[in-house]
Amino acid sequence: MGDLVLVDRPSEAVAVVTLNRPRKYNAISKSLLEEFHDTLKRLAQEPDLRALVLTGADPAFCAGLDLGELEAGVKIGHPDSILPLRDFPAPVIGAVNGVAVTGGLEFALACDFRIASERARFADTHTRVGIVPSWGMTARLSQAVGQSWARQMTFTGDFVDAPLALRIGLVNEVVTHDRLLPRAVELAQSIATTTPETLRRIREIYDLLRDGTGADGLRAELETGRDGLAITSPEDFAARRRAVFDRGRTQTS
């Protein structure tokens, strides 16, 4: 393992993966991408890992592809390079701590959902740098914020700050910078307490809705619901329902 991608384990069930080229705003170089893929492949093989947090070393989340390497003729990845992140077997929370630009925004969009620091800023600069997106920007961005905002972000290349990102649905929460990782880990730990098989099946339905059509997702949900009793016994279901009610009484956010 190198030092371009760091892994921290707040618990056995949660991993925090940090892109670590802070002087380059965590720009995606050929070496960083290879190390990132190796890290995800290794973590994907851990059966007890239940959730992953992706962030960047301050001051940025990720500034996109390393334009210096591109200008030098270095080939960085290919259209499938986003798949190890998008198809990671456990839910991925994007903890956006600073700028998330173009390829960095695509990394964020490949996460299951995103929370942001007050310092976060987002931009799709494909039209400004003259690169046609190939990691799912047009589909993922429009799914996150709707066609109109996606077109505005892509056509202008302008930055969206954290409050606006929250308003248009690009992120779920905005927190103070010092609370970003603790909050992301808190959410990951919450995910880790759910029923693994049920979560896996429901996440697959969301993925169908993301990648296919609503009809595909609805059919999958119906089929999963039909055999839902096979996932858990009535006794287990009753106990989990009580736990959900108890958690609801004490949850403050």
pLDDT digits 0-9 by tens, 41-60: 999 999 999 999 999 999 99
Domain membership of residue 148 as a residue range: 5-192
Torsion angle (degrees, nearest 10) of CA 229, 235, 239, 242: 80
pLDDT in tens, 17-49: 999 999 999 999 999 999 999 999 999 999 999
| 92 and 26 housed in the same domain | yes
Same domain, 235 and 163: no
**Does residue 128 contact residue 134 with C-beta atoms inside 8 Å?**
no
CATH number for the domain that contains residue 10: 3.90.226.10
pTM: 0.90
Same-domain status, 125 and 185: yes
* 141 shares its domain with 100: yes
Q: What is the pLDDT of residue 229?
A: 44
Cα separation, 127 vs 203, whole angstroms: 33
Kindly state whether residues 181 and 81 are assigned to the same domain: yes
Instruction: Tell me how far CA of residue 20 lies from CA of 56, 247, 252, in angstroms.
Output: 6, 36, 33
C-alpha distances in angstroms, 56 versus 48, 75, 95, 177, 209? Answer: 24, 22, 8, 13, 28
pLDDT tens-place string over residues 77-113? 888 899 999 999 999 999 999 999 999 999 999 999 9
222 and 104 share a domain?
no
Q: In this predicted model, what pLDDT tens digit does every residue of 130-151 receive, in sequence order?
A: 888 888 898 899 999 999 999 9
Same domain for 51 and 75, yes or no, is: yes
Q: What is the pLDDT of residue 106?
A: 95
Task: Please tell me whether residues 39 and 79 are part of one structural domain.
Answer: yes
Number of domains in the chain: 2
Q: Letter for the amino acid at 22?
A: P
Decide: 139 and 82 in contact? Cβ < 8 Å: no
Q: By percentage, how much of the chain surpasses pLDDT 90? A: 71
Q: Does residue 203 surpass a pLDDT of 90?
A: yes
Domain termination residue (choose one: 149, 177, 192): 192
Residue 133's pLDDT is: 87
- pLDDT, mean over the chain: 89
Selected residue with higher pLDDT from 131 and 218: 131
